[in-house]
């Protein structure tokens, strides 16, 4: 895992490939503890872990996996105990997401150099298969999300790329004769944006504008001229930068979780009906695992995930400080695993 060559980045490293964390020692939300963590991403100094995703195969439910991007080098697959199962050395992949159709998982990741979407599948051993690349150009492929969305008459795969400057491309994915995009729609958020997530049931698209909060759009609409300012920032709930967004389903309930990078906290809303704010949590040091700080990406999955009966929340930790003093220049980043039951208890979610 030699990382990214100078040639691939034209002799320089984009500033956004390096974290801007201020090495906050702890977050300001209700304390919870992590139950596990992954091995740090393996590109050496200035590691750049960014965004996770969680997958439980219907054919191998006993072997859940966590996907995680290293935005200098490629895409990891981790076992639920945090060990590395696979790695695709593709170059700078920023955000990762997946959708499930017909019992199969399709994985996508925003490719910042090629400016589009890198596509992968899983083989029988839950290792990555390269399925190609789809061009979906923006100012720079930054945020990414995908879902199999119910359009009423049929279910269609939808991909969303959020450009670094807040320009967004929404398209349906066509898999006839190889992957391509169609019915592309474009709109502007307003300023630098990244995190996004699609509610496959309702078509709601949530996008995090880093300095201004969370916006809600509709991927099924012919135009996204109308939008809802779901949660403004800065506020008591979100401290810029607003980064990762994810949804967790538990029975009939759907929860939106957002990473508030400015104070290392995570805000939670129930969004399956009229939105209800549930509170904020932060992952503190304990169980032999360091605290989560300066978080970028976050992912969640409800229901059984290996040893976690009701699901997990997985988040990037900007400073995996095991073995490092507070004054040490940041060297390692990884992903922390939090039992959803612990979050529910902390926030009194019934």
pLDDT at 2 over 80: no
Mean pLDDT within 141-166: 94
Give 12's pLDDT tier (boundaries 50, 70, 90). Answer: very low
Mean pLDDT within 108-129: 97
Cβ-contact 219, 170 below 8 angstroms: yes
pLDDT at 227 over 80: yes
For the beta sheet containing 298-302, the strands, ordered from the edge strand earlier in sequence to the opposite edge, are 36-37, 334-339, 311-317, 298-302
> Which range, of 18-22, 47-51, 195-199, 281-285, averages the lowest pLDDT?
18-22
Q: Is residue 325 packed enough to be buried (19+ CB in 10 Å), middle (13-18) or exposed (0-12)?
A: exposed
Q: What is the pLDDT of residue 340?
A: 98
Cβ-contact 49, 333 below 8 angstroms: yes
Query: Who wins on pLDDT, 6 or 42?
Result: 42
Q: What is the pLDDT of residue 314?
A: 98
pLDDT at 18 over 80: no
Work out the percent of the chain whose per-residue pLDDT is above 90: 77
Rg (CA), the chain: 18
User: How is residue 149 written in tokens?
Assistant: 């969305």
- For residue 69, whether the previous peptide bond is cis, meaning omega lies within 30 degrees of 0, is no
Residues 6+ apart with CB under 8 A from 140: 112, 115, 163, 164, 165
CATH architecture of 20-347: 6 Propeller (2.120)
Query: Who wins on pLDDT, 58 or 321?
Result: 58
d(CA 250, CA 335): 22
User: How is residue 328 written in tokens?
Assistant: 């040490």
Mean pLDDT within 252-278: 97
Give 25's pLDDT tier (boundaries 50, 70, 90). Answer: low
pLDDT at 324 over 80: no
The chain-wide mean pLDDT, for the chain, equals 89
Query: Who wins on pLDDT, 333 or 53?
Result: 53
pLDDT at 17 over 80: no
């Amino acid at each position: 895992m030699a990382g990214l060559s100078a040639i691939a980045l034209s002799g320089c490293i984009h500033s956004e490939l390096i974290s801007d964390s201020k090495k906050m020692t702890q977050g300001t939300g209700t304390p919870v503890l992590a139950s596990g963590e992954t091995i740090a991403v393996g590109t050496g100094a200035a590691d750049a872990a960014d965004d996770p995703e969680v997958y439980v195969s219907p054919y191998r439910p006993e072997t859940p996996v966590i996907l995680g991007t290293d935005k200098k080098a490629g895409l990891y697959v981790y076992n639920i105990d945090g060990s590395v199962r696979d790695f695709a050395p593709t170059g700078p992949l920023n955000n990762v997401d997946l959708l499930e159709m017909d019992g199969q998982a399709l994985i996508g990741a925003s490719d910042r150099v090629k400016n589009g979407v890198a596509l992968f599948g899983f083989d029988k051993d839950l290792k990555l298969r390269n399925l190609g690349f789809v061009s979906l150009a923006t100012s720079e492929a930054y945020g990414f999300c995908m879902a199999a969305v119910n359009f009423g008459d049929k279910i269609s795969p939808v991909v969303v790329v959020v450009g670094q400057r807040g320009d967004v491309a929404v398209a349906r994915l066509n898999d006839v004769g190889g992957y391509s995009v169609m019915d592309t729609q474009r709109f502007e958020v307003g300023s630098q944006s990244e995190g996004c997530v699609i509610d496959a049931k309702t078509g709601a698209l949530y996008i995090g504008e880093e300095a201004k909060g969370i916006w809600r759009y509709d991927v099924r609409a012919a135009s996204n001229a109308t939008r809802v300012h779901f949660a403004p920032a800065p506020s008591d709930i979100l401290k810029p930068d607003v980064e990762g967004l994810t949804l967790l389903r538990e029975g009939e309930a759907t929860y939106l979780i957002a990473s508030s990078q400015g104070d290392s906290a995570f805000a939670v809303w129930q969004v399956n009906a009229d939105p209800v704010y549930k509170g904020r949590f932060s992952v503190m040091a304990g169980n032999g695992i360091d605290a989560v700080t300066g978080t970028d990406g976050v992912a969640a999955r409800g229901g059984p995930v290996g040893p976690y009966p009701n699901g997990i929340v997985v988040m990037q930790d900007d400073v995996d400080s095991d073995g490092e003093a507070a004054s040490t220049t940041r060297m390692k980043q990884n992903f922390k695993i939090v039992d959803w039951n612990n979050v529910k208890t902390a926030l009194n979610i019934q």
